[in-house]
Chain A
Amino acid sequence: MTAESVLRLADLAFDYGSRPLLRDLDLSVGRGEVVCILGPSGSGKSTLLRLIAGLERPSRGRIEIAGRCVADARSSEPAERRGVGMVFQDDALFPHLSVIDNVGFGLIGLPRRERRPRALEALDRLGLSDRADDWPHRLSGGEQQRVAVARALAPRPGLILMDEPFSRLDSQLRYRVRDDALSALRASGASVIFVTHDAEEAMASADSLVLMANGRILQFGTPEDCYRRPVSVEAGQLLGPLNVMPVDVMNESARTPFGTLDLPGVASGPARLVFRPEALRAAADGVAASVVGRQFGGACMRLEVEAGGFRARMAVQGRNGGDGDTIRVRLEAGEVEVLPG
C-alpha cells in the first residue's frame, strides 16, 4: 500500500477462546480519511476497534499504523504506546478529574505549562472552552461526549477510533454533536474510524464505508457505491430496504413484472436483480401494480406494491400517487444491480 496509508490491516483474525470473532480482514485507511464501520450488533465492529487500539491481541494477521507493524500473531504493542485516540460508547470520562484535566490526561509527556493551553485548544475546537473547569457529571450527555472527543484529540494522534460514540444521545442532539465532532476531527487532519449501527449516520458522515457481518468485511467503498452497487444482498440490506428479484437472464435481458430489462454484458442463466425502493418510480406509462401496504414516512410515502406475483417496496415523493388501490410504476434500469442467482 501507499506510504500515505495511516492504517493497514492484513489477513487479520481474532478468536475469543475457541470462537472465531473476526476473519480475513484486509483494510487500508488513508491520511485524513473518515471511515465508518457499519454492521449489526455482534458483527465484530467493536472488537475490530479494540484490536486496532491495542486493547486486544490479534490471533492472526498484522496491523500496521503509519507504516509500522504494531501487532501480529506473535507480538502486540500495548495500547499506551500506539498513539491512537479512542472515544468510547459510554462516557468514559474520569469523574474525579475536571473537564480540563480529563482533556489533559493524555498530555503527560508535555511540560506542565504547555498542557493547559493544548487541552484548552482541543476543548475550543469542540466549543467547550468555557466549561474547562467544570466537572464531568455537571455536563449534559452531549457535552460529555464532546469532552471525550476533545480528550482523544488533544495528544494529536494520527488516528482516532470511535465506538458508537453518539448512540446514547437522542436523535436531534446526536446529529449536532456528530457533525461538530467530525468537523473538529477533520480539521485536525487525523484519520477517523468510527463504528455505528445507524446506516444513515454512516452514509452521511463517512468518506468510505466498511460493511461488516459475522466477523467479516462484506464490502468496502464510498457510501454511494455501497448503497447503489451492493456486492451481496446482505451488504445491501445493511444500508436500507432492498428489493431482491430472482430472474432468468437470456440474451442480455430479463423479463420482470415491471417490464423487460436490458442487461448488457450479463451472462445467461439464473440471476438476482437487486434495487432500492426509489428505483421504482410512479409513471403514467408504467406497469399497473396493486398497492398492498402503505406507511406514511413524512417526506415520502412508503408503499408495498405487487405485480406479477412479486412484492416490492417503493418510495413515492410527496403525495404523488400515494392514495389509490393501484399505481403505475416503472423500474429504472440504471439503478438495478445484478447479482449471481
Chain B
Amino acid sequence: MAVAIAPLVGVAVAAIRGPWADIATAPFAGYALTSALLAVGVAGLSTVFGLTSAWLVATCRFPGSRVFEWLLVLPLAAPTFALAYGYADLFDVAGDLRMGLRQAAGFDLPVSMRSLPGAIFVLSLAFYPYVFLAVRDALLNRSAVAAEAARSLGASPGTVLWRVTLPMARPALAAGLALALMETLADYGAVSFLSVQTLTTGVVRAWSVYGSPASAALFGLPLIGTAAVLLAFERWSRSRRAYGVQATGWRDTPRPILSGWRAALATLACTTLFVAAFALPLGWLGWNALQATPEWPRLLHASGRVFGLGVVAAGLATALAAALALSGGDRPLLTRLAGLGYATPGAVMAIGLLVPAGLIWRNASGPTVMFATGLLMLIYAYAARLMAAALEPVSAALTRVRPAMGDAARTLGRSPLDVAWSVRAPMAKGGLLTAALIVFIDVVKELPATLILRPFNFDTLAVLADAYARDERIGQAAWPALMIVAVAVPACLWLTRRISRSRPGGDRP
C-alpha cells in the first residue's frame, strides 16, 4: 500500500522544503479559482448531460434506445485533448466554420473555445459518461418491485418517479459526479490546449518551465486535499447505493415505449449528445488528419512504447491489486488509501516521485541510469495511480468466492496458498482481465505524468499529440489522438458489456 502513498508524502515534503520558484505564489489564487470554477461548471453541465440521457435510456424505449445504451459511453474512450483539438479548431476564429458563417450569414459566433466556458463545455462532454453510467446502472438495477410496491400504496407514476425512482438514483449521481470531478481537476491535455490555467497546468508548468518541483508540489497540495474530499464523498454515496440491487426477487422494470414527437425528441436529444461529444469533434479531427501527412516512424515508435508501457503497467497494477485483494484486501483502510492514489491527479503523483528520483540521479548519473529511472518512475506512477482502479473489479470478482468454497477446498486437502491459486484466482479471472484492460486504457490516454517523468525524447502517443498540438499542427496531432481512440473504443465497449452483464437480470435477452 505504501506504493500509492509514498508519492503523496513526497509532494508534501517537496512543497514544504522549497525553494519555490517566482511563479509559486503570485498566480496561485488565480489558478485555484479557475480550477474551482471549472469544477463547478463541469459538475452542472455534466449532470445535465448525464442525468437526462441516463434517464431516457434506462426508463424509456424509443428508436435507438438500445444503441444509445452503449453509444453514449464512447466519449470515455477519447482523451480529453482530442475533443479539445477538435472543438478549438472547429470554432477557430480563422477556421472554415466561422469564416463560412461570417460570409453566408454576416455574423460571428460570440464564442471562443479557448476560454473557461469552452473548457467547461469540452470537459463536460468528455466526462458526462461517468454520470451517465452510474445513474443508468442505478436506474436499471432498480427492481420493478419497489415501484410496484409504491403503486400498490397508491402512488401515481409521476409520484413514483419523484419519490422512489429518482431518490434511489441520487447516490449514483453523486458517485458519478465525484469521478467526473476528479478527472476534471486532474486534466491537463485539454485545459492547457485551451489556454486555461488551472492548478494542474500550474503543476506541469512549474516543473517543465521553471524546473521547480517545490512550486509544482505547492500547486499539487490543494489538489490532493480536494481529491481526498471527492473520494470520501464518492465512497459515502456508494455506501448508500446498495439498495435496490438484490438478485433474489429480481424483476425487470417494464419501460414505456415512447412514440410520436416524444420519441423523436428523445432520439434527437441522445443523437445530439453523441454527435457533440464524439462524432463531431473526432470527425473533424479525422478530416484534418486526412489533410496532413502522418510521420509514420514517429507514430509507430510512440505506439510501440505506449503499448509496452501499458502492458507492463497493467500487469504490475493488476498483480498488486490481486495480491492486495487475495490477502484480504477488503480491509477498508487499505483500499481507501489505494483510492487516494487513484484520485490524485497524475501530474501531482509524478511530482511526488521526483523526490526519490532526484535522490537516485544525484548519486548515480549517466544516460542509462537516467533513462531507466525515468521509465521505472513512470511505471511506478501508473501503478500507484491505477492500482485502485484495478482493485475494484478484482475485489468484485472475488466476492463471488464464498467462504464455504475456500473451506471446502481446505477439507479436500488443499493448503491456503493452493486455495488462492486453484480456486480464488481462476474464479476472479474475468475481474483480473477487466482490471488489466482498465489500466491499459488509462495508460494509453495518460498525458501529464508522462510529460513530467518520461525519459528524454521518450514519446508516447499522447505526448506526441501534445507536442504537435502545441505547434498548432492539428492535422498531425489528430493522428496519435485518433490512434488512441481506435485502441480505446473496442476496450470501452467490451468493458461496458461486461458491466451490464454482471447486473441482476443483465444476462437475459
Interface hit among A27-35, A88-96, A185-193, A224-232 = A88-96
Which of these, A54, A88, A95, contacts B408 with CB under 8 Å?
A: A88
- Using Cβ atoms and an 8 Å threshold, which residues of chain A touch B414? 80, 105, 108
Give the docked Cα–Cα distance between A292 and B63 (Å). Answer: 68
Which size class do A's interface residues fall under?
20 to 34
Which residues does chain B contribute within 8 Å of A92, judged by CB atoms? 402, 404-405, 407-408
Q: A94 touching B423 by the CB < 8 A rule?
A: yes
- Residue-wise interface mask of B (400-418) relative to A, using a CB-CB cutoff of 8 A (1 in contact, 0 not): 1010110111111111001
Instruction: Return the chain A residue nearest B427 by Cβ.
Output: A96
Q: How far is the CA of A50 from the CA of B408 in the complex (A)?
A: 11
Chain B residues within 8 Å of A82, by CB: 411
Q: Does B426 contact A (CB under 8 A)?
A: yes
Query: What distance in Å separates the Cβ of A54 from its nearest Cβ neighbour in chain B?
Result: 7
By a CB distance below 8 angstroms, the chain A residues around B427 are 94-96
Give A132-162 as 1s and 0s: 1 = Cβ < 8 Å from B's Cβ atoms: 0000000000000000100110010000010
Q: Contacts A95-B427, A96-B427 known; A79 to B402 CB distance under 8 Å?
A: no
- A310→B413 CA distance, assembly (Å): 57
Q: Which residue of A lies closest to B418 (CB)?
A: A80
* CB-defined contacts of B408 to chain A, threshold 8 Å: 86, 88, 92, 94, 148, 151
Contacts of A82-116 to chain B: CB distance below 8 A: 82-86, 88-90, 92-96, 105-106, 108-109
Cβ–Cβ contact A88 & B404, under 8 A? yes
Residue in B402, B405, B413 whose beta carbon sits within 8 Å of that of A108 in the complex: B413
Contacting residues, chain A, for B410 (C-beta < 8 A) = 53-55, 78-80
Residues 418-451 of B contacting A (Cβ, < 8 Å): 418, 423, 426-427, 429
On whether the beta carbons of A88 and B407 are closer than 8 Å, the reply is yes
Chain B residues with CB under 8 A of A109: 413
Query: Is the pair A85, B409 in contact by a Cβ cutoff of 8 Å?
Result: no
* Bound-state Cα–Cα, A155 to B429, Å: 28
Considering only CB atoms, which chain A residue lies closest to B425 in the complex?
A: A96
What is the minimal beta-carbon distance from A64 to any residue of chain B, in angstroms?
A: 18
Q: Which residues of A contact B400 (CB under 8 A)?
A: 95
Residues of B within 8 A of A80 (CB): 410-415, 418
Chain B residues, CB < 8 A from A83: 413
Query: Quick check: B407 and A79 within 8 Å, CB to CB?
Result: yes
Can you name the residue of chain A whose Cβ is closest to the Cβ of B428? Answer: A96
Q: How far is the CA of A115 from the CA of B426 in the complex (A)?
A: 21
Kindly list chain B residues whose C-beta atoms are within 8 Å of the C-beta of A152. 411-412
B426 near A96 with CB under 8 A, answer yes
Given contacts A92-B402, A95-B400, is CB(A105)–CB(B409) below 8 Å? yes
The reply to whether B404 and A105 contact each other, CB–CB distance below 8 Å, is no
Residue among B400, B405, B429 with most chain A CB within 10 A: B405
The digit string for B375-405, where 1 denotes a CB below 8 A from any CB of A, is 0000000000000000000000000101011
A86 touching B413, Cβ below 8 Å? no
Roughly how many angstroms separate A294 CA and B415 CA in the complex, as a whole number?
57
The answer to whether A90 and B402 touch across the interface, beta carbons within 8 angstroms, is: yes
**Within the complex, what minimum Cβ distance (angstroms) separates B394 from chain A?**
15
Q: Are A55 and B407 neighbours in the complex by a CB distance under 8 Å? A: yes
Which residues of A sit under 8 angstroms from B423, Cβ to Cβ? 94, 96
Shortest C-beta distance, A159 to chain B (Å), equals: 10
Q: CA–CA, A109 to B407, complex, Å?
A: 19
Measured CB to CB, the closest approach of chain A to B74, in angstroms, equals 32
> How many angstroms from the CA of A55 to the CA of B410 in the assembled complex?
8
What CA separation (Å) do A306 and B262 show in the bound complex? 73
Do B404 and A89 touch (CB < 8 A)? yes
Cα–Cα, bound, A53→B414 (Å): 13
Instruction: Kindly report which residue of chain B lies nearest to residue A161, judged by CB atoms.
Output: B411
Collect the chain B residues with CB atoms within 8 Å of residue A85's CB: 411-412
Q: A106–B404 contact, CB under 8 A?
A: no
Tell me, rounded to whole Å, the shortest Cβ–Cβ distance linking B404 to chain A.
4
CB nearest to B408 among chain A residues: A92
Report B-chain residues with C-beta under 8 Å of the C-beta of A50: 407
Q: Which of A86, A93, A94, A151 has a CB less than 8 Å from the CB of B407?
A: A86
Residues from chain A with a CB closer than 8 A to the CB of B426 are 96
A166 to B48, CA, bound (A): 52
B411 contacts which of A84, A90, A93, A94 (Cβ < 8 Å)? A84
How many Å lie between the Cα of A151 and that of B408 in the bound state? 9
Contacts of A54 in B (CB 8 A): 410-411
Could you say which residues of chain A place their CB within 8 Å of the CB of B409?
94, 105
Q: Which residues of A contact B412 (CB under 8 A)?
A: 80, 85, 105-106, 151-152, 155
CB distance from B508 to the nearest CB of A (A): 15
Chain B residues with CB under 8 A of A88: 404, 407-408
| A200 to B411 CA separation, bound complex (whole angstroms) | 28
Minimal beta-carbon separation of B417 from chain A (angstroms) = 10
- Return B197 CB to nearest CB of chain A, in Å: 52
Closest to A53 in B: B411
Q: Measured between C-beta atoms, what is the minimum distance from B134 to chain A in Å?
A: 28
A151 to B413, CA, bound (A): 12
Are the CB atoms of A155 and B413 closer together than 8 Å?
yes
Compute how far the CA of A86 lies from the CA of B409 in the bound complex, rounded to whole angstroms: 10
Is there an interface contact between A78 and B404, defined as CB atoms closer than 8 Å? no
What's the Cα separation between A90 and B406 when bound, in Å? 12
> Chain B contacts of A90 at CB under 8 A?
402, 404
CB-defined interface of B439-476 with A at 8 Å, one 1/0 digit per residue? Answer: 00000000000000000000000000000000000000
18 A-B pairs with C-beta separation under 8 A: A50-B407, A54-B411, A55-B411, A78-B415, A79-B411, A80-B411, A80-B413, A80-B418, A84-B411, A86-B407, A88-B408, A92-B408, A96-B429, A106-B413, A148-B408, A151-B408, A152-B411, A155-B412
Chain A positions near chain B (C-beta within 8 angstroms): 50, 53-55, 78-86, 88-90, 92-96, 105-106, 108-109, 148, 151-152, 155, 161
The 7 closest A-B pairs by CB, nearest first: A106-B412, A92-B404, A79-B410, A86-B411, A92-B408, A88-B404, A80-B413
Give B contacts to A, CB under 8 Å.
400, 402, 404-405, 407-415, 418, 423, 426-427, 429
Known interface pairs A155-B412, A161-B411; 10 further A-B residue pairs with C-beta atoms within 8 A, sorted by A's residue number: A55-B411, A78-B410, A80-B418, A90-B404, A92-B408, A96-B426, A96-B429, A108-B414, A152-B412, A155-B413
